[in-house]
Amino acid sequence: MKLLPIVLAAVCAVIAVLYWTGHFYPSGVHTKHGVVFAFLAVLCLVWYRFASNSSPTSVGKRL
Amino acid sequence: MFLAVLQGVSELFPVSSLGHTVIIPALLRWKVDRSDPTFLAFVVVLHLGTAIALIVFYWREWVNIIGAFVGSVIRGKLSNSRDEKVAWLLIAGTIPVGLLGVFFQKAVQGLFASPMIVSLFLVANAFVMFLGERLRSRQAAAVERVNRPLESLDWQAGIKVGFAQSLALLPGISRSGSAIVAGLLLDLDHEDAAKYSFLLATPVILAAAVLELPELFAPQVHLVLVQSIVGSIVAGITAYASVAFLTKYFQHNDLRPFGWYCLIVGLVSFTLFATKVVS
């Protein structure tokens, strides 16, 4: 379970870069889509931070 | 100036700013080219003004929320702090509207941009508010539920409010109206539901403006620089006054007056467009 956020963060970061470089869609660069995926990548890293500090007070259990 | 006042007021009142920016120019027979770089730049600065007004109004809240969020990430744990919970609720609520907005906004608004359809959505917005108020009073009467504080919501509830807010991608449906209705159905009182809606709107409006900032560097934009700066200030002042009014208003009142407003404006506009009195 602790590996999942890291994998998702990496996938989101790669998609963000592909959007920014115009490789995801043939129609060109999609800056905003890239920003959204970069934001999701950061959120996944935050999720990892909470998951790696496994205790009853993790985000999912407390919120 | 008129557009700036319209943006500042209608962005926060639950009456759909997007709907008004489609219907009112059509009713007044203004020829607005929405793809013109100067118009896009003007819209960006109006949104910036509105977002800054919201940040200024809730600045203490934002300082506490951001501080609590950073603290929880550094610790890797959540405490029982209200600000931490609100911070995570805001993130949970922003994800759906951010994703849907970026991926579907242009397609959805392209499909439903006709003033006649927007008038119908404004009527639908009225019914969303009436229905929300009705369900809320039934819930309260049937189960003897008490109002929950904002920080008692869980992250699934935050996501639900975020999805409700995404309905505002349809021009004519209000962002704050749908978010407040979702909050009410989750047992928040009007005051907390409105506050959550305004806090949720801040990063969305700010991000929408910041992501469009490159529009400000289009070559023709210097022609409307003064109008844009004045428009931004006017939108900011009216947005500040609107949020100040609405936070007081929702302490003792509900959404129904805004529902009646949307119903009347939507029906009158639809009739005028359908009968081609205004084309």
Reading chain B (279 residues) residue by residue, the pLDDT tens digits are 787 888 888 888 999 888 888 888 888 888 777 667 677 677 778 888 888 999 999 999 999 999 999 998 888 888 888 899 999 999 999 989 888 888 887 777 777 778 889 999 999 999 999 999 998 888 777 766 677 888 888 888 989 999 999 888 888 899 999 999 999 998 888 999 999 999 999 988 888 888 777 777 777 767 777 887 888 899 899 999 999 999 999 999 899 999 999 999 999 999 998 887 776
Residues in chain B with CB shorter than 8 Å from the CB of A62 are 78, 80, 85
pLDDT at B150: 85
Q: What is the mean pLDDT of residues A7-36?
A: 83
Residues in chain A with CB shorter than 8 Å from the CB of B103 are 33
Residues B210 and B160: beta-carbon distance below 8 Å: no
- Which phi and psi (to 5°) does residue B147 adopt? -65, 140
Which residue from A39, A40, A59 is facing B88, i.e. has the nearest CB? A59
pLDDT at B58: 93
Q: What is the mean pLDDT of residues A27-51?
A: 84
Residue B76: both structure tokens together = 């890797």
Contact with chain B for residue A25, Cβ under 8 A: no
Query: Going by C-beta distance under 8 Å and a sequence separation of 6 or more, which residues neighbour residue B37?
Result: B215, B218, B219, B220, B221
Rounded Cα–Cα distance for residues B245 and B13 (Å): 10
Q: Is B136 exposed, middle or buried (0-12, 13-18, 19+ CB in 10 A)?
A: buried
Q: Contact B76/A39, CB-based, under 8 Å?
A: no
Q: Distance from A24 to chain B by nearest Cα, in Å? A: 13
- Which phi and psi (to 5°) does residue B155 adopt? -70, -30
CA dist B35 → A62, B32, B39, B40, B262 (Å) = 46, 9, 7, 7, 27
Contact with chain B for residue A59, Cβ under 8 A: yes
Contact with chain B for residue A62, Cβ under 8 A: yes
Q: Is this complex's ipTM strictly greater than 0.90? A: no
pLDDT at B17: 83
B27/A29: higher pLDDT: B27
pLDDT at B276: 79
pLDDT at A60: 52
Closest alpha carbon to B84 in A2, A58, A6: A58
pLDDT at B25: 84
Q: Contact A49/B103, CB-based, under 8 Å?
A: no
CB pairs under 8 A between A and B: 45
Rounded Cα–Cα distance for residues B227 and B98 (Å): 29
CA triplet A30, A36, A41: central angle to 5 degrees?
125
pLDDT at B205: 84
- Which phi and psi (to 5°) does residue B71 adopt? -60, -45
Residues in chain A with CB shorter than 8 Å from the CB of B89 are 63
Going by pLDDT thresholds of 50, 70 and 90, the confidence category of residue A63 is: low
Rounded Cα–Cα distance for residues B216 and B212 (Å): 8
Give the residue carrying structure tokens 């409105």.
Answer: B194
Position A41 pLDDT exceeds 90: yes
Position A56 pLDDT exceeds 70: no
Contacting A with CB below 8 Å, chain B residues are 73, 75-80, 85, 88-89, 91-92, 95, 98-99, 102-103, 154-155, 158, 211
Query: Going by C-beta distance under 8 Å and a sequence separation of 6 or more, which residues neighbour residue B139?
Result: B145, B185, B187
Q: Distance from A29 to chain B by nearest Cα, in Å? A: 14
